[in-house]
Amino acid sequence: MLTGGELAALIAAVVWTVLVAFLCVTLVKLTRLLSEMTKVVSDLGERARPLLDDVASTVERTGNSLDRVEEITANVANTTEDVSTMTALTRSVFTGPLVRLASFSYAVRRVVGQRRALALVRSRRRKERR
């Protein structure tokens, strides 16, 4: 039969063997996991390159479109300035003579009105004298 020390050594050897077997199984699973992760990362890298190329071309096209929009905005600003200038010129061309014509018309009406009033006063005076 086994002595106490031999029995303890046998139990320790069995526990050690079970622990090593558990660690081996765990290492095999970890190795498989790392292998799959390597494949996934490699596949992701292969898919990311075309995606990044598409993003770069999209950004470039967007930049070109923004340049065109900037040109259009500048043209609209110039056109607005030209229309404003034309409006001011038209206003000065038409309103100046219209104001003068209105002033002249007012003056003529006033003079005519005063002459009528004066003629009316004179005619009353003549009637009173008779």
CA distance 19 to 31: 18
Specify whether the CB–CB gap between 77 and 70 falls below 8 A: no
pTM of the model: 0.44
With H, G, I as helix, E, B as strand and everything else as coil, classify residue 107: helix
Q: How far is CA 128 from CA 47, 115, 120, 124, 125, in A?
A: 116, 20, 12, 6, 5
Q: What is the residue-level pLDDT of the chain in tens, covering all 130 positions?
A: 778 889 999 999 999 999 999 999 999 999 999 999 999 999 988 888 888 999 999 999 999 999 999 999 999 999 999 999 998 888 887 787 878 888 888 989 998 888 888 888 888 888 777 6
